[in-house]
Amino acid sequence: MNSTITYREAVRQAIVQAMEKDQRVFLMGEDVGHYGGGYAVSMGLLAQFGSERIIDTPLSESAFTGAGIGAALGGMRPIVEIMTVNFSLLALDQIMNNAANLLHMSGGQFNVPLVIRMATGGGKQLGAQHSHSLEGWYAHIPGLKVLTPSSVQDAHDMIVLALADPDPVLIFENAILYNKKGVLDTQALPLAIGKAKVERTGKDITLITYGISVFKALEAAETLSHEGIDIEVIDLRSLRPLDDETIMKSVAKTHRVMIVDEGWKSGSISAEIMARINEQAFYELDAPMGRVCTIEVPIPYAAHLEQAALPQADKIVAMAKKIMEKL
């Protein structure tokens, strides 16, 4: 069955379905209960499931993420909501040193089936402390899976996939996307974790991106099509694992590459992708690779400065034209 709903509603629907199906699933985090979540994803769930399964936690990310790890080790299926990605840094010790490492350090005895959701990205005038895009940082850590749903379908399906996974999964939901509408097909089989999706086929440049930037890339691709430049847009969907196969197949077709990444350029996931292409498909390239990233400043509060700092469709268009000139 198909329905047009918002990204927020797709996440909520997936959580509700999971909780109805499996009594081990519960949601915990700051303001997820009475307030309905920082971005209203869990609105109404406290009344539906009660305070033992929709748990308002103290303002201590380290404590409630650690509690989630303990619950996962004990056989539960916790969904931990961290309000915004910057707050996840307060739980980094739990995420990296415990959740990501316990399977290895126990000699394969203890899986940690933990799902951590958090809002990411700028563009909502929340200031420098609440506008980070740190998903690329977490993609550096072995033992984690890092998902970046851009569509309503993925917003729903990635909850389902994450809860079925035996290991810790981090889901980064761009805050701008919560109100975006799209079609949800509840009968469709979810596209597997680690599998990228070609959102638009093209022959001139492979444009690799994820999250909110998928829509900016598609807008830029449409603009460029009127100027005779045919862009192939790949939605990575997952930053760890990366789908090298889909990337390299596209590079072998277009022979030119651009990456759009809302993270800062230095040490970014865009740099990792460029390195992999250099290692695996260097001789397929007909021009130097290009990328559009967030300007390396703390994200400004002022709306016009914030928009100037973030990747935008016009910047993508300009970079594509620059790449095409290097023939």
What are 80-135's pLDDT values in tens digits? Answer: 999 999 999 999 999 999 999 999 999 999 999 999 999 999 989 999 999 999 99
Active-site hit among 9, 30, 61, 81 = 61
7 vs 14: CA distance, rounded Å: 11
Q: What is the mean pLDDT of residues 27-32?
A: 97
Provide the 8-state DSSP code for 192. P
C-beta of residue 324 within 8 angstroms of C-beta of residue 206: no
**Residue 187: per-residue pLDDT:** 86
Q: Domain residue spans in the chain?
A: 2-185, 197-325
What class is the 197-325 domain? alpha beta
**Largest Cα–Cα distance in the chain?**
62
Give tens-digit pLDDT for 37-77: 999 999 999 999 999 999 999 999 999 999 999 999 999 99
**Residue 21: per-residue pLDDT:** 97
**Which fold, 2-185?**
Rossmann fold (3.40.50)
Strand 257-264 and strand 205-209: the pairing is: parallel
C-beta of residue 260 within 8 angstroms of C-beta of residue 292: yes
Active-site hit among 30, 81, 130, 272 = 130
Is 61 considered catalytic here?
A: yes
C-beta of residue 116 within 8 angstroms of C-beta of residue 70: no
Give tens-digit pLDDT for 198-246: 999 999 999 999 999 999 999 999 999 999 999 999 999 999 999 999 9
**Residue 327: per-residue pLDDT:** 56
